Amino acid sequence: MTPVLIIGGGIALLLLVIGLVVSTREEKKFVEERLERFTREAGTSVVAAQPTTSPMAEYLTRQVTRFSWGQSLSRELARADLKLKVGEYLMVMLLSAVGVGVVAWSMGGRTTLSAIIGAVIGVFLPRMYVGRLKNRRLQRFDEQLGDMLNLMVNGLRAGYSTVQALESVSKELPPPISDEFRRVVQEMQIGLSMETAMENLLRRIPSKDLDLVITAMNVQREVGGALAEILDTLSETIRERVRIKGEIRVMTSQQMFSAKFLSVLPVLVILAMYFANRPYMENFYKRDQWTFLGIGALVVAAVMVIIGYNVMKKIGEIEV
């Protein structure tokens, strides 16, 4: 355990030094404090203050979001509705990689390869969790979009403005659609235009049905027309699309499950055999005159699994 303790202590010391350095230079930003608390009309609270984060997480967030992959991580967290910043998410991935790596190292004969395999698995576990939350939330949003349009149509016909209709959606409907439109209303209250707020919503919720609704609203503001009638027609179309997509999802669920299960099964079998009988699996990459055959067999198997998964997934994907 000595190398593991040395590595863990080095990482902890490095994180501590970064935290101390950043905390001494941390300055509170006036604009961020103003945006944390503001009130809606009629005196109700819009959002609670965001939880404070460590200076080290703030520093990592600022540094990472300068790159495209950091911005992509930020969008993934927003779509999954996780109250984590990019720096905090990276720290969770690091802890997961170290934890799973140590467990795999102890179970796999205390070899470097076992630790690497465990670390890779630990890195992907948080991403799998975030992806699952994101897909589930996007599906629920699409299912609620028809009710949202009906509520907006009723509000517009009753004499509400577009902003008031959006605010009624944020009050009356359940999450996640209420949370997203509450954020749209908040952004307009602090000075953003409706076009910008809707573009931000579409960036957080990459839905084709939502894109159709936003396009219709933008066109109506430019050329005029009865927005209630337009949204009423869109509501019927979107409801039908949601119904058809639900039927397709049910009919293709077995195909998609088979693709995932058959693709993951060989990897699980290889990992189980490696940790249960490591000398047997070492024959694939043991240094002798047949090394290229073992490594070539593993590469060919991996390529065939990837191709098979993509083919089965393509068969199950039906555009509506």
What HEC string does 63-121 produce?
A: HHCCCHHHHHHHHHHHHHCCCCCHHHHHHHHHHHHHHHHHHHHHHCCCCHHHHHHHHHH
Spatial contact of 98 and 11, defined as CB atoms under 8 Å apart: yes
Amino acid symbol at 52: T
Question: How many alpha carbons fall within 13 Å on the CB side of residue 266?
Answer: 15
pLDDT per position in the chain (320 positions), as tens?
Answer: 555 555 666 566 556 655 554 554 444 444 444 444 443 333 333 333 444 556 777 777 777 777 888 888 888 888 888 888 888 888 888 888 888 888 888 887 778 878 888 888 888 888 888 988 888 888 899 889 988 999 999 988 888 888 899 899 988 888 889 988 999 999 988 888 888 999 989 888 888 889 988 998 888 888 877 888 888 888 888 888 888 888 888 888 888 888 888 888 888 888 888 888 888 887 877 777 667 788 888 889 889 999 988 888 888 777 76
> What are the tokens at 184?
């749209």
Identify the H or E element spanning 59: helix 55-64
User: What is the pLDDT, as a whole number, of residue 42?
Assistant: 35
User: What is the pLDDT, as a whole number, of residue 303?
Assistant: 92
**Cα dist from 278 to 87, 115, 120, 291, whole Å:** 37, 14, 18, 16
pLDDT tens digits, one per residue of 195-247 = 899 998 988 888 888 998 899 888 888 887 788 888 888 888 888 888 888 88
Amino acid symbol at 163: V
User: What is the pLDDT, as a whole number, of residue 54?
Assistant: 65
Spatial contact of 101 and 122, defined as CB atoms under 8 Å apart: yes
**Cα dist from 143 to 24, 140, 235, whole Å:** 48, 5, 11
Query: CA-based Rg of the chain, rounded to a whole angstrom?
Result: 25
Please state whether the predicted TM-score (pTM) of the whole model is above 0.75: no
DSSP secondary structure letter of residue 287: S
> Helices 86-107 and 68-80 meet at what angle, rounded to 10?
90
User: What is the pLDDT, as a whole number, of residue 11?
Assistant: 67
**Phi, psi dihedrals of residue 38, rounded to the nearest 5°:** -155, 160
